[in-house]
């Protein structure tokens, strides 16, 4: 059994716990938290919740530590720090800072002889894999990534900061006609506005001016101004009833040409429709944890990404079984 | 530059030649044929066409030999044989015989210190990758593979063997409503008849009995009887004009559940729409050749499949570039 530690017990931590319970080759040995452990209720009986200050006592009892913190402030510190003690996996998703994060984790993991796999999930993660495979196969082509329909946390936060807004949720939606145009192989040039729309559900504070709030949302530079934005004002009751889900998804396309005269068009499409963004993310994370454990057993060390992992390492099946049944 | 040899110059061999010409890090150094080389005209100036009997003279002049023969009789013999001299890549697609083929290539390649990558293309190949990733991520789920719209060579051949048939082409088509049902996440149980239809375009010999031919096609066990089959009788002129293409494609789905009470559904979809089946296949083959060369340089040997290759090895980009731009 691969012994899994979970650092952080929010949506992601809980998702890891659920995914490990589904995996025949893994067990959760401890959940670590910055909170008072007695206040953290987990799902699995018999698994201790431990304050993070004691994590070094668990050095030889955990094969892979899965870091479930946020990318803004937690992971840049935690992943290199924990890579000194454990094989680690994270879902760092701040694309612009990946090279820096990679360098920090690589140095720490190499010194300790551990493996650290960063930026796993679906984007970055499975979508990255699709981009790399598809770009390699069709070098003469064009990439398209659409997100949604799903909640953008950053955009929801931006609305909540507007005066008079009590609560808000923002859905990013791909434009159906643009999806169809890409799918047809016509290689359209698409503006920001043509790729996604933004749909906002807003609960106002008592007495707030709806027209002013709507204007402030729609004119917000970068966040909403470049998009066709729809604003719905709803009651708190409706908000809680219909807008607490964590569904998400998206589409990665590569369209490209081959042939002596580039006469043949090809369309590669990968799409995800996810009822639970965090649970799908953690389902990827535990496959990566399985791979990290195997890579470490083989003597590898340092920072890796999902692009460095042989696909077979995701699976509980042997090479023979994979070749016989899934190849 | 990675020096590529091409064994066999049919649709696949020609496709490899075109794909290598598109690759900045590769060159074709020779095309090998069982025919009289003077009768084989290739696209690239300055590249010799050589009879296969002389192939052993090229042992140190080729980094990877791409084998472009058929899976029925060519590759089972050629791939192990050539793996004694070269790193090799093939597109062996006889799923039931992959374990045996793997064992033969593995023994030959290991003894010679070479790498042999078998069964690369899109199915087996990219579709296999998707099955392995998706099954690993969503262990509690269901797989669906649809093929088409595209030509099935085996079914076209079966029609041509019927008395009175001059020429024939059979298209395998996915059933649109079943695609939609799978895509919706409803996890339908689908019969053979509900997944694909078969559409046949037939040119009759003079005086042949159309009704009898149509009946023979539709009642053919295994090939057509389990499907809704449509037969169109057309002129030889129309046949040559509209049915000489090599388009193909297909869809791989994995639908699965996560959550404490399995309350969340997820749908992963991967699809290909290909104007040229052989050119897409060879576009994959040359990425695998790039990977095989790198794996060999790193000291690996023996038989591998696409499931054993780190995705980054498909690419001409460095790890730094991939992390900065595609992760």
What is the C-alpha to C-alpha distance for residues A244 and A209, in angstroms, rounded to an integer?
A: 25
pLDDT value of residue B130? 98
B20 vs A94, A99, A181, B43, B60, CA distance in Å? Answer: 35, 31, 30, 12, 19
Q: What is the pLDDT of residues A183-230, one digit of tens each?
A: 999 999 999 999 999 999 999 999 999 999 999 999 999 999 999 999
**In this structure, what are the phi and psi dihedrals at residue B56, rounded to the nearest 5 degrees?**
-65, -20
A235-268 confidence digits (pLDDT tens): 999 999 999 888 999 999 999 999 999 999 999 9
Residue A202: name the closest of A241, A156, A138 by CA: A156
Q: What is the 3-state secondary structure (H, E, C) of B249-276?
A: EEEEEEEEEECCCCCEEEEEEEEEEECE
Q: Is B142 on the interface with A (CB under 8 A)?
A: no
Q: Chain A neighbours among B 66-95 (CB < 8 Å)?
A: 95
Q: Give residues 252 to 311 of A whose Cβ lies within 8 Å of B.
A: 258-260, 263-276, 279-280, 283-284, 287, 290, 305-311
Does residue A153 surpass a pLDDT of 90?
Answer: no
ipTM above 0.85, yes or no: yes
CB A147 within 8 A of CB A172: yes
Other CB atoms within a 10 A radius of the CB of residue B43 amount to 12
Q: CB-hemisphere CA count at 13 Å for A104?
A: 15
CA angle B234, B240, B245 (to 5 degrees): 110
Interface A:B, Cβ pairs < 8 A? 203
Phi, psi (rounded to 5 degrees) for B54: -100, 10
* C-alpha dihedral sign at A145, A179, B122, A273: positive
pTM over 0.90? The answer is yes
Q: Report chain B residues whose CB lies below 8 A from the CB of A305.
A: 322-323, 327
With residue A110 as reference, give the H or E element that holds it: helix A98-112
Quote the CA–CA distance of A162 and A165 in Å, as a whole number: 6
Element (H, E) at B67: strand B64-67
Torsional sign, CA B301, B305, B306, B311: negative
Question: Token digits for A192?
Answer: 């920001």
- Quote the tokens at residue A181: 């145009």
Chain A: closest CA distance from residue B92 (Å): 11
Asked if B103 is an interface residue toward chain A (Cβ–Cβ < 8 A), one would say: no
- Cα Rg, chain A, nearest whole Å: 22
CA distance A173 to A150: 7
Closest CA to B278 of B121, B129, B165: B121
Residue pLDDT, tens place only, A48-98: 999 999 999 999 999 999 999 999 899 999 999 999 999 999 999 998 999
Q: What sign for the dihedral angle of Cα A144, A148, A152, A156?
A: positive
Mean pLDDT of A274-297: 97
């Amino acid at each position: 059994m691969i012994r899994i530690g979970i650092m952080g017990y929010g949506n992601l931590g809980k998702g890891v716990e659920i995914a490990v319970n589904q995996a025949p080759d893994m067990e959760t040995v401890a959940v670590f938290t910055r909170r008072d452990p007695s206040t953290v209720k987990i799902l699995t009986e018999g698994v201790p919740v431990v304050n993070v200050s004691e994590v070094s006592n668990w050095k030889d009892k955990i094969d892979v530590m899965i870091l479930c913190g946020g990318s803004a402030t937690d992971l840049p510190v935690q992943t290199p720090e924990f890579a000194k003690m454990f094989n680690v996996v994270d879902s760092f998703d701040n694309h612009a800072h990946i090279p820096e994060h990679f360098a920090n984790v690589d140095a720490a993991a190499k010194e300790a002889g551990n493996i650290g796999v960063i930026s796993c999930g679906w984007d970055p993660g499975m979508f990255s894999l699709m981009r790399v495979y598809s770009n390699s196969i069709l070098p003469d082509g064009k990439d398209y990534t659409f997100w949604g329909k799903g909640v953008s946390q950053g955009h929801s936060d931006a609305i909540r900061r507007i005066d008079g807004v009590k609560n808000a949720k923002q859905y990013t939606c791909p434009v159906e006609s643009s999806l169809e145009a890409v799918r047809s192989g016509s290689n359209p040039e698409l503006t920001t506005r043509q790729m996604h729309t933004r749909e906002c559900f807003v609960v106002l504070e008592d007495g707030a001016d709806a027209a002013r709030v709507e204007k402030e949302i729609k004119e917000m530079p970068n966040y909403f101004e470049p998009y066709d934005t729809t604003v719905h004002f709803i009651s708190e009751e409706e908000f809680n009833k219909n807008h607490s889900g964590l569904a998400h998804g998206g589409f990665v396309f590569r369209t490209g040409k081959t042939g002596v005269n580039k006469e043949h068009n090809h369309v590669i499409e990968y799409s995800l429709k996810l009822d639970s963004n965090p649970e799908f993310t953690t389902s990827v994370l535990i496959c990566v944890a399985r791979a990290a454990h195997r890579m470490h057993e083989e003597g590898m060390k340092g920072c890796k990404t999902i692009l460095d992992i042989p696909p077979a390492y995701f699976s509980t099946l042997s090479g023979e079984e994979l070749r016989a049944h899934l190849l």
